[in-house]
Structure 1
Amino acid sequence: MASAQLVQALQSAANSGDKSASYAQILSNLSQTSFASSEEQAASLIAYVDSLVNASIGIISTKPLLSSLITSLSSAPAEVKVKVGSHIADNLENQIASFEEQNAVVREILATGYEEEEEWSKAAQALQGIQLDSTQRTVTDLVKVQTWVRIVRCYLEDDDTVSAETALNKIKNSSIALQVLQDSPELQLHYQLSQARILDSRRDFLNAAAEYLNVSFSRSVAEEDRLQALSAAIKTAILAPAGPQRNRMLGKLYKDERSAETQEYGILEKMYLDRLLSKEEVDTFASSLAEHQLAITADGSTVLSKAVVEHNLLAASKLYDNISTTALAVILGLKDSKDGTAAERAEDYAARMIEQGRLRAEIDQIDLVIRFETLPGLPFTGKARHLRLWDLAVQGLVEDVERCAASISEAFPVSSQDLAMTGAP
């Protein structure tokens, strides 16, 4: 609550002949006062605002006084910024057309106060109250993009990806904003990182991995943060649906020399080389994932477990020409559930991947066997398949013999004199 002395001074100013000068003097005194607490400072400034707004001294005289008060808030504690800033913003809500500049400045300070108190969504909402498309004041394209990006980042801090995406779309749908991003590497970086986090939360893991990877190449980011972005790219790439597109992304990440420095390198290597993953490796990897990356999907499995099953299915296709659905279920670690037996679930996974073009195989539902395509164009069954495999085996044997002979020649070279002594032609 404001002190009795301040209340009396404000009453005198409201009744004085030169109200503007009186309020200016009170504000000057307040700026030099040492308050006992943030609560007392906030109560005093709020009392000043209420008296000033109700004094009817005219917009022209009120604007500079209000601007001076708002400017002084920038150095105040977070609690004062929030209490006084929100009070001023509420008072100006019905008069924004007359106080657009003051409204914009106080909302930026209010947002800073909320950020300091880690009230991220409230900070974003405060910024959204700023009139960016205004005829009363000049707002540059750079300032607009900076504000939009700040709103997106605030919402993301609270994991409100829906609101964040709505704000991000304002940038995407503006050709001028995209041009501003190209001219500002720092803003471009924040935009890419925000887009990656939104795609990640929507479980569009493949595109999220591409955005994270782009961020990891930015020279304006500290080395530690670049490595963290690379780690995020690896995680999302691993969680992406198995198939050619993911394989290409895994290839990029595996061939990146920095990947060896990440904790995810072991599982990345096995994924890229189509090796089977053990339960222990998967559990270790799962402990590093975010909550939304471990969410339960419609079929009762997690995103990770589904990605691992699909990967191990592809890995099995590299090891076997054919396999029974029962044996495949054991390799994939599937168990009987309400959706069917383990063998039936293994068949469902294979059928879905075949239908989507991510696995080259055929399913024999009579013998309950899955036959994999060993080579492109090679038939799954029949004499043509066996003859082709026989030809390939003979070709492989001949190539091995040739390599062996070449190695012997290199290790034990024979000169023309040696040949002459042996009588060889």
Structure 2
Amino acid sequence: MEAKLAEFESLNQKDKGPAYSSLISQILAQGDGNAVARDLKTLVDTVVNKESVGLVVGRQVLAELVKILSEGAIKDSDLKKRVVEETLETVQPRIVSYEEQVNSLRFQLADLLEEEEDWSGAARVLTGISLDSGQRSFSDADKLKIYVRIVRLLLEEEDSVQAETYYKRAALLMHSASDKETLLQFKLCQARISDYSRKFLEAAGRYHELSYVGEIDEEERRHMLLAAVTCGVLAPAGPNRSRVLASLYRDERSAELPTYNILSKMFLDHILRSAEVKEFESTLKPHQLARIALSSNDKLASIGHDDGPSASNEPAASTRTGPATVLDRAVMEHNLLASSKIYNNISFRGLGALLDLAPGAAETMARKMIEQGRLKGHIDQVEKLIWFEVNGDEDDAQGKAGGLGDVEEAEDTGSPFTKRWDAQIRVTAAHTESIVQQLSQKGLLSLISPTSA
């Protein structure tokens, strides 16, 4: 190899390019991978760093090597990766002169690393590409594709902080989006960024929207629906979450999901038990189990508002001063909201026993939810009671969001307890009628003999 390179140095500039380029195919024809890598590195070092070769010849030879590599001349991915990395290392000191070829090599290396599931390595290679200067000017559409790909890779590595930086850059270029695949990838990144940022309400809506896109594979759409349900469950309790849960509950595909049980219980305002929460917890990702740091004010309030020793008919007080994780908070807030549909009022100690919180911590959680408009009620700190207010508007909004349309209002009797009792009778009658219809369709009613007089 050294002899041929020395021989080519005496050629004129016009003939040097084809001569050096012809060596590439000869080197690749060798059976020994180590020899191929070594000789290609020697060739690249010669054409790039020797002043006698010249910049024009160097670009010509390097462009030919990039083209041959992109065409799959080297089948062994490990060997190809080694060749690309060594070529980039050799060209690095003179990267300004060979920027276009270096960018092409970086794309190839990113593809190889992505195949190996080295997400952070692939993202790091792509971030090294100069998009705003150099010999090749990238269009806004090309920049958008690169940024979206970097975001996707960083999210696979669960590096949401750096991913959000490139997501913001991509968002500025969305006006240039013409490729539907890139647009869908951006929307998916948008949903995942909201998920990682604990904006679960936004994430649930975006995941659910994507689960209807026909261009996405059916299994992927199911995965997005599952992610939508998970984020909906983790979202802060309140009217907005009720609307999202209603939309998911009415989706007929949700019944096939493993998380349908907890979705239905949350939508129907049933209190969640610890065994159900544990089962759901096993399906969560690490960032969805992030621990919550309580503020010093909350800690003081949780400790300072205890209502003394318990009476003989009241449960023992818990010592927990607040939720430990995102899931803990979501479940406690849901159970608090569900208890408002069951009780007219509840003591701090009783609510604490229900939520497994200290009485002061339970009062603090209720206070915050009332302040934020997510719970209707008021607090009597003298009697240490939380009074709940019946709010029919929220139930109507929840039903309409689920696709029920307008619901006929019952005559206002002026008695909330009577209306609640009437509603329970209507629901029971509807369930009974549904059971009878199902029995009739299956021909089971004819098997029941009439009772003799």
User: Under a length normalisation based on structure 2, what TM-score does the superposition of the two structures give?
Assistant: 0.76
The answer (yes or no) to whether the contact 2:272–2:335 under 8 Å persists in 1 is yes
CA distance in 2, matches of 1:316, 1:138: 61
- 2:81 is aligned to 82
Partner of 1:73: 69
Equivalent-residue separation in structure 2 for 1:93 and 1:359 (angstroms): 61
Give the Cα–Cα distance (whole angstroms) in 2 for the partners of residues 158 and 21 of structure 1.
44
Matched residue type, 1:373: E
Match of 2:329 among 287, 306, 314: 306
Distance 1:400 1:127, change over 3 A: closer
User: Which residue is 2:47 aligned to?
Assistant: 52
Determine the C-alpha separation between the residues in 2 that align with 1:399 and 1:283. 33
Alpha-carbon distance, 1:227 to partner? 0.7
Alignment pair present for 1:262 and 2:285: no
Residue among 346, 352, 376 paired with 1:360: 376
In the other structure, the counterpart of 1:201 is 196
Number of residue pairs the alignment of both structures matches = 374
Q: Distance in 1 between matches of 2:116 and 2:179?
A: 29
What corresponds to 1:170 in structure 2? Answer: 169
Distance change in 2, residues 1:344/1:356 (3 Å): same
Q: Name the residue aligned to 1:372.
A: 388
Tell me the residue number matched to 2:106. Answer: 107
Give 1:146's aligned residue.
Answer: 145
Q: Does 1:27 align with 2:24?
A: yes
Q: Which amino acid aligns with 1:295?
A: A
Cα separation, partners in 2 of 1:392 and 1:148, compared to 1, 3 Å: closer
- Classify 1:7/1:317 alpha carbon distance in 2 versus 1 (closer, same or farther; 3 Å): same
Q: How much does 1:98 deviate?
A: 3.1
Aligned to 2:341: 318
Quick check: 2:336–2:355 contact (8 Å CA) kept in 1? Answer: yes
1-structure distance, mates of 2:415, 2:187: 51
Percentage identity across paired residues of the two chains:
40
Partner of 1:411: none
Instruction: Provide the rounded CA distance (Å) in 1 between the counterparts of 2:334 and 2:418.
Output: 31
Distance in 2 between the 1:398 and 1:246 partners? Answer: 26
Provide structure 2 residue ranges, at least 5 long, that are not aligned to the other structure.
295-322, 394-411, 427-453
SS in 2 for 1:253: helix
**255-264 or 284-293: bigger deviation:** 255-264
Counterpart of 1:252 in structure 2 is 247
Aligned mates of 2:253, 2:233 — CA distance in 1: 17
Stretch of structure 1 that moved more, 104-113 or 317-326? 104-113
Which of the pair has more CA radius of gyration? 1
Q: 1:324 to 1:61 in 2, by over 3 A?
A: same
Alpha-carbon spacing, 1:292–1:394, altered in 2? closer, same or farther (3 Å)? closer
Q: Residues 238 and 375 of structure 2 are in contact (CA less than 8 Å); yes or no, is this contact kept in structure 1? A: yes
Q: 1:218 to 1:304 in 2, by over 3 A?
A: same
Distance 1:140 1:84 in 2: 29
Write the deviation string for residues 138-183 of structure 1: whole angstroms up to 9, x where unpaired.
Answer: 4333322221111111211211112211111112123xxx2333x3
The alpha-carbon deviation at position 263 of structure 1 amounts to 0.9
Cα pair distance change 1:391/1:28, threshold 3 Å: closer
Which of the residues 55, 61, 68 maps onto 2:57?
61
- How many angstroms apart in 2 are the aligned matches of 1:159 and 1:277? 30
Superposition deviation, residue 20 in structure 1: 3.0
Secondary structure in structure 1 of the residue aligned to 2:56? helix
* Structure possessing the higher relative contact order (Cα contacts under 8 Å, 6 or more residues apart): 2
CA contact (8 A) 1:14 1:51 kept: no
The C-alpha deviation readout for 1:13-63, integer Å capped at 9, x for no partner, is 34555533431231121132233x3x4432232122112213332222222
Q: State the distance in 1 between where 2:152 and 2:391 align.
A: 48
CA contact (8 A) 2:204 2:229 kept: yes
Q: Structure 1 pair 44/397, CA: closer, same or farther in 2 (3 Å)?
A: closer
Q: Which amino acid aligns with 2:342?
A: L
Please give the alpha-carbon distance, in whole angstroms, between the structure 1 residues aligned to 2:392 and 2:111. Answer: 60
Contact 2:262 2:276 (8 Å CA) reproduced:
yes
* Residue 191 (structure 1) aligned with residue 198 (structure 2): no
Rounded Cα–Cα distance in structure 1 between residues aligned with 2:423 and 2:360? 42
What residue identity is the alignment partner of 1:234? V
Residue 118 of structure 1 corresponds to 117
- Please report the TM-score for the alignment, with normalisation by the length of structure 1: 0.81
Name the SS for the 2:346 alignment partner. strand
